[in-house]
Amino acid sequence: KLVGHDAGPVRAPLTDLNEAELAELDVLIKKLGAQ
């Protein structure tokens, strides 16, 4: 979602990221820039 692609829900035993984790991931992605 953060880079324009929605991969859908994850499969068990993993869980979807919460809002804080999504925000942290967004910061990391923006820090790295385009790949």
- What is the full DSSP assignment across 1-35? -TTS----PPPTT-----HHHHHHHHHHHHHH---
Cα separation, 13 vs 11, whole angstroms: 6
| Residue 34 pLDDT > 80 | no
Q: Quote the pLDDT of residue 24.
A: 96
Closest of 27, 30, 22 to residue 1, by C-alpha? 22
Alpha-carbon separation of residue 21 from 2, 11, 15 (angstroms):
12, 17, 11
Q: What is the pLDDT of residue 10?
A: 87
- On the question of pLDDT at 35 being above 90, the answer is no
pTM of the model: 0.64
Q: For position 2, what pLDDT does the model report?
A: 77
Q: Which pLDDT score is estimated for 6? A: 82
